[in-house]
Structure 1
Amino acid sequence: MKWLDMEVVLIIGSLVLFIIFVIGLFALISIKEEALTMSKLRNIYLYLVSFVSLMMILIGLIFTVQNITDVLFPTNYYYEAYPIQKTPSMTEEEFKRYEEEQKINEYNQKMNYNNQLINSKKNVAKSIAVVIVALPTFAYHWRKIEKEKKEQALKEE
């Protein structure tokens, strides 16, 4: 269920970013007093990429914490079917079937727990990967922004 949550958040985040991008374009187009220069487009690009990568970092960190919590404190989603009830009047054949069902149920529970643990570990790796990809992207673009601000300040002096 966690991968579904991550996909929903990423889809919603993408839509929000697309809307912000479209609004930014309309704002740029509607500016009548100033000409649209490449430096303005570059600034918009740098800020948008920085914003997107920062959101990816935050979402990745949130999901990393959630998934680590799932690994450390797993929730048991296995619900046992109604087993055959053990009664004193059981025949030997019914008793063997009862024991087989108990073994099958125990095996299914162990397999379900192991699968859930494996999936949780995979989700931790995926969410860490999002942070690992987004962090250098954010750092690079933010440094570019800071560098251009300093250069602009020096030009104005």
Structure 2
Amino acid sequence: MVLSIFMFIVFFGVFIFLLAAFLGSRKQGDGGQEEMKDYLIKKTYYYLISFVTLMMIIGGSVATFMAIADYVVPPSYHYDYYYYEEQMYEKEHGSENQLTPEEREERLEKAREQQKQNAKEMAVNSLIKSLGWIVIPLPIFIYFQRQIRRKETE
């Protein structure tokens, strides 16, 4: 979803850029009016790129916060398919293969710890990916903000 929105915005930005190049290449009578069109198209392009990168940074920040929360407080453990499969096997094959309550509790505790460890590893992985959504667009955002400020002071 985010990728498709990003691709649409990039396509729209490229369209604006090509439109600016097309209008810039046309030479009409009034040079001042033509320069004003170029200025407005470039300004629109700069603001569009700044908006897109800012949205990416905000989305990355939210995802980073969520990944940190998942690491600090991993999701709770729920019985999974393998636990139920083991119970069904015991019911079908009788009590000769049945586990004692202590062994069953020990296996359940190991499964809980493994689930917590897996959740923490997934949170770290998600955190690294989320930081990419901040680190990559940040220089682009800073560059275009400087371009906007420079154009406004001219």
Q: TM-score, normalised to structure 2's length?
A: 0.65
Structure 1 residues 66 and 110, CA gap change in structure 2 (3 angstroms): same
Structure 1 residues 135 and 21, CA gap change in structure 2 (3 angstroms): closer
Structure 1 residues 21 and 77, CA gap change in structure 2 (3 angstroms): farther
For 1:98 and 1:41, how far apart are their aligned partners in 2?
73
Secondary structure of 1:106 counterpart: helix
For 1:137 and 1:18, how far apart are their aligned partners in 2?
13
How many residues of Structure 1 are paired with residues of Structure 2 in the alignment?
Answer: 139
Once the 2 structures are TM-superposed, how far is the Cα of residue 38 of structure 1 from its aligned partner? Answer: 3.7
For 1:147 and 1:113, how far apart are their aligned partners in 2?
51
Among 139, 143, 146, which residue is 1:140 paired with?
A: 143
Within 5 Å, which residues of 2 pair with 1:64-143? Answer: 64-80=64-80, 81-82=83-84, 84=87, 93-96=96-99, 101-143=104-146
For 2:10 and 2:134, how far apart are their aligned partners in 1?
21
Counterpart of 2:91 in structure 1 is none
Once the 2 structures are TM-superposed, how far is the Cα of residue 150 of structure 1 from its aligned partner? Answer: 0.4
For 2:105 and 2:77, how far apart are their aligned partners in 1?
18
Once the 2 structures are TM-superposed, how far is the Cα of residue 149 of structure 1 from its aligned partner? Answer: 0.7
Instruction: Tell me which protein shows more helix as a share of its residues.
Output: 2
For 1:42 and 1:114, how far apart are their aligned partners in 2?
50
For 1:96 and 1:115, how far apart are their aligned partners in 2?
26
CA RMSD of aligned residues (A): 3.7
Structure 1 residues 149 and 58, CA gap change in structure 2 (3 angstroms): same
Between 140-149 and 99-108, report the one with greater CA deviation: 99-108
Once the 2 structures are TM-superposed, how far is the Cα of residue 145 of structure 1 from its aligned partner? Answer: 0.5
The runs of 5 or more residues in structure 1 that have no matched partner are: 1-7, 85-89, 152-157
Q: TM-score, normalised to structure 1's length?
A: 0.64
Once the 2 structures are TM-superposed, how far is the Cα of residue 109 of structure 1 from its aligned partner? Answer: 2.7
Letter in 2 for 1:78: H
Among 9, 19, 24, which residue is 1:17 paired with?
A: 9
Structure 1 residues 18 and 143, CA gap change in structure 2 (3 angstroms): closer
